[in-house]
Amino acid sequence: MPMFLILQAEGHFKAGRVDAALQAVERALATCEHTGERWAMAEVLRTRARILLSTGRAKSDEIETILLDSLEIARRQQAHCWELRTSCDLARLWQNQGRSREALKLLQSVYDQFEEGFDAADLREARALVRSLRQNLTRKPKHLGPTRTARIIALGNRRLRHRAPIAV
């Protein structure tokens, strides 16, 4: 039942019905709690985090907490595919926060658990994200020239040299 609600939530979300998507996620969470049907809890939480992040309805630290909960559940259940999906979402969040090294370490460790199925969409996405994270870390920062403060100081010094002498 929770997975059907998650599929419904994703359909609502893709159609732009964010409130309906979030309601479906909340129903899935409630179903997991009331029935004890927790096998899909990691995916329910990941979907909730993704929708909240995409709509800006939660702060990034709240999103991170939800994703870390999802990751913990997936690991406890040994649900490697959901662990991979959650790791991708968490890695993207961390990458956007400038935490690419942490993101790469997490995602690479999860990706390395797989021995087959590398043509599956989730693994292709993870591989592309790992490459992107590596490029971010190996790319040398571009020299952007002097800082704004340094430019203001330099401009001020030039103006002082070009002024006419003050008569006393």
- Tell me the residue length of the chain: 168
What is the pLDDT confidence band of residue 139, given thresholds at 50, 70 and 90? confident
What's the number of domains the chain is made of?
A: 1
- What pLDDT score was predicted for residue 40? 94
- Full-prediction pTM beyond 0.75? yes
Helix axis angle for 100-111 and 80-96, nearest 10°, is 170
- What is the phi/psi pair of residue 99, to 5°? -110, 45
CATH number assigned to the domain comprising residue 84? 1.25.40.10
In a domain, 115, yes or no: yes
Per the structure, the complete domain to which residue 79 belongs is given by 2-150
The amino acid sitting at 37 is E
In a domain, 158, yes or no: no
- What is the phi/psi pair of residue 33, to 5°? -70, -45
In the block, residue with structure tokens 């049907």: 37
